[in-house]
Every structure is written in C-alpha cells, then in structure tokens.
Amino acid sequence: MIIATHSGKFHADDVWAVAVLDIVFPGSELQRTRDPGLIAAADFAVDVGGVWDPKAGRFDHHQKGFAGARQSGVVYASAGLVWKEHGARCVALLAQTHAGHTLDGRDAQEIAYAIDSDLVQYLDMADTGAAKNAPGGYGLSAIISGFNPSWLDEQNAGAAADELRLRQFRRAMTFIGEVLVNQVKYRVGTKLSIEQVRQAERLENGRVLLLQNSALPWTAIVRNEMPKVLFVISYSIAEQRYQLNTVPAAADTFEARKDLPAAWAGLQGEELAAVTGVGDAVFCHNNLFIAAAKSFEGALTMARLALG
C-alpha cells in the first residue's frame, strides 16, 4: 500500500491520518508529494488530491464545496475523515496488540467514537481554523507542529531539507502512535474494570467500597451508580499499602461527597498516627481527598473515623 500526503510543512491532522492508516495497513509506503500523478497512483491520498471518497482511499477536505461534518457540526479535516472510516478497525487492532483483548465490532466502534469526541475532532478544528489549538493553548496540534523543522534546521539541511522533513514526519507519526495506544489501552481498561467495580465488596452499610487494585478506574462508576458510597478503600499493589479515597461529588471537581477530617490535612507518619490512632498511617493529602495506611485494618479504621 502507498499512502500519499502533501510535502512541505505538516500538521496534526495529516500526521494522525497517516499514522492510523499505517497501523491498519502495516508496511505501507509513505510518499510526501504534491505530484498529481503520484497522488493519483497511491492507494491512499491524505489531505491532498481534492477528493473525499473513502472507498477509493481519498481523504481530502480542501476541495471547493466540501461539506463533510459531524452531527455536532464540527467539520472534518483529514484526521477525522480517516478516523471515521478506519477508526474502529484501528482500535480493535491496538486493543488486541497492546491490551491483549479482543473487541467486538460494537465495542471497537464505541471506543472510536469516544476518541473522536475527546481528541480527533479537536485536531480537525485546529486544522480548519475553528479552534486555535486542540485542545487548549498548547494541545496536541501544537505539539505535532513542533516536530516540523525550523527555518534554521532547513537552512542547515540545504538540499537535504526534504529528507529532514520526512524524518520529522515519521517521528511525529511515532508520537501519535503512542498517543493512540494509550487512548485505546485506557478505554479498554476502563471497560474491563466496570464489572469488577460494580461487584466489589461494600462495607460500613454500603458507605465504603473495597477494591483489591487501586489502579482500577472507579470514579465515574461510583459517582454515577453508587450514591451511598462516601469512601473507597483500595490496595496499591505497587506501593503495598491501602489507600482511602473520597468520592467526587461531580465530574472534574475535587469537591467530595464527604471530606476526610480537616485535622488530618498534610500530616504524615507519626503525626497522622497520633491524630488518628492508626499506628501504620502513612499520609493524608493536604486537600483531604486521599489518605493511606500500610494495612487494611488501618485504612478501615481511618474510613470509620472519617464517616463519623
């Protein structure tokens, strides 16, 4: 397979699109060119060629009259066009390769939609001028743009400037590939954790949830499905201690359903042990959303104290 995209300065939308195609069609040859003949002969034309026809492998959005847009109204650039066509397959391949998990078509598509909503649409918005960056003031679009050689780099490269741009494009592809892997692994892990969190033991009349692995993503499930739970005790395998977490009252906030006692704030070791009476107490965060003890009994005692 030959993937053609434009030469010269690259952007996050074309790097993302090419990286996705390279995952779905491994071993493809990359051609960065503006030669119409080479573009027409390629199996895929990304961000160049003046045609949007996914079945023919054409993913450009610059042509007059282009009207491709999501239901949300966000207009597609090449990142979104390729993701719309090949995102679910890319997700399934990465889930199998990097998470050791086989996704059915429905789950793969669901994750692809989520990645589009959280990330890809912002790359498109940055490329079409609908947003300055994606997302935030120094988001992924800006980071990828930073892989382009500076004018000093190109001046020093001289006649080898095109080779330098190609090397930098491939470096940006590698970076995007890592972003993609992390996006998929996180979402596969979240999906697999749901039932474990739902089935976890509840203590203290349902007000404390006990998890055997603190790495499980539990926050959204507890917040949305377990209104009675005020604290979560979980075991940190890496640190070999039990953590006591508050439950956020809403998404994207440190406001908790119930805080840890104010007298614990910022205390560690012996100081925290003296206040709590828990001999193996380790620490309590100054913002009162997490504390820890070496033993389960210690963490449970702290939870009971916090419940009041």
Predicted pLDDT of residue 132: 66
pLDDT band at 31 (very low <50, low <70, confident <90, very high): very high
Q: What are the φ/ψ torsions at residue 201 (nearest 5 degrees)?
A: -70, 140
**Mean pLDDT computed over every residue of the chain:** 95
On the question of pLDDT at 138 being above 80, the answer is no
Q: What value, to the nearest 5°, has the Cα angle with vertex 234 and ends 248 and 210?
A: 85
Predicted pLDDT of residue 252: 78
Mean pLDDT of 128-134: 75
On the question of pLDDT at 55 being above 70, the answer is yes
pLDDT band at 185 (very low <50, low <70, confident <90, very high): very high
Both tokens assigned to 244: 């006591």
On the question of pLDDT at 136 being above 70, the answer is no
Q: How far is CA 125 from CA 76, 117, 284, in A?
A: 8, 12, 42
SS3 assignment for the chain: CEEEECCCCCCHHHHHHHHHHHHHCCCCEEEECCCHHHHHHCCEEECCCCCEEHHHCEECCCCCCCCCECCCCCECCHHHHHHHHHHHHHHHHHHHHHHCCCCCHHHHHHHHHHHHHHHHHHHHHHHHCCCCCCCCCCCHHHHHHCCCCCHHHHHHHHHHHHHHHHHHHHHHHHHHHHHHHHHHHHHHHHHHHHHHHHCCEEECCCCEEEECCCCCCCHHHHHHHCCCCCEEEEEECCCCEEEEEECECCCCCCCECCCCCHHHCCCEHHHHHHHHCCCCEEEECCCCCEEEECCHHHHHHHHHHHHC
CA distance 199 to 195: 6
pLDDT band at 137 (very low <50, low <70, confident <90, very high): low
pLDDT band at 130 (very low <50, low <70, confident <90, very high): confident
pLDDT above 70 as % of the chain: 98
Let me know if 64 is exposed, middle or buried by CB neighbors in 10 A (0-12, 13-18, 19+): exposed
Mean pLDDT of 128-132: 81
Residues present in the chain in total: 308
CA distance 175 to 256: 36
Predicted pLDDT of residue 48: 96
Both tokens assigned to 189: 């892990």
Number of other residues whose CB lies within 10 A of the CB of residue 158:
8
Q: Give the strand pairing for 231-236 and 208-211.
A: parallel
Mean pLDDT of 95-122: 96
Mean pLDDT of 233-237: 97
Q: Let me know: does 301 contact 278? Beta carbons within 8 Å.
A: yes
pLDDT above 90 as % of the chain: 92
Handedness of CA 216, 219, 222, 228 (dihedral sign): positive
On the question of pLDDT at 248 being above 70, the answer is yes
On the question of pLDDT at 52 being above 90, the answer is yes
**Cα dihedral angle (41, 6, 32, 24), rounded to 10 degrees?**
-70
pLDDT band at 129 (very low <50, low <70, confident <90, very high): confident
Q: How far is CA 308 from CA 211, 245, 271, in A?
A: 22, 16, 20
Mean pLDDT of 117-146: 84
Predicted pLDDT of residue 134: 56
On the question of pLDDT at 288 being above 90, the answer is yes
pTM equals 0.82
CA distance 192 to 100: 12
Predicted pLDDT of residue 76: 97
pLDDT tens figures, 194-211: 999 999 999 999 999 999
